Amino acid sequence: MLEKQANRKPYEQAYFPPVPNKFTIFMRTCVLWQLVRFVSFNLMITKLLIKSHH
């Protein structure tokens, strides 16, 4: 996340959506946590494939 959001002016477009805090951003590229998420997502895809093939 940029330190200053140039487009987050009060009441303008980008003012309203949620933006991640530093911990959330850190976890997005935390290798250990992302390894867990990688396995989890691949399991989810597998479930999806089993359900989708007819």
Rounded to a whole number of angstroms, the minimum distance from the CB of residue 43 to another protein is 11
37 near another protein (CB under 8 A):
yes
- Alpha carbon distance 47, 26 (integer Å): 29
b/e per residue 11-47 (b: at least 16 CB within 10 A): eeeeeeeeeeeeeeeeeeeeeeeeeeeeeeeeeeeee
> How many residues at the interface with another protein, by CB under 8 A?
36
44 near another protein (CB under 8 A):
yes
Return residues touching another protein (CB under 8 A).
Answer: 1-2, 5-8, 13-14, 16-20, 27-31, 33-35, 37-38, 40-42, 44-49, 51-54
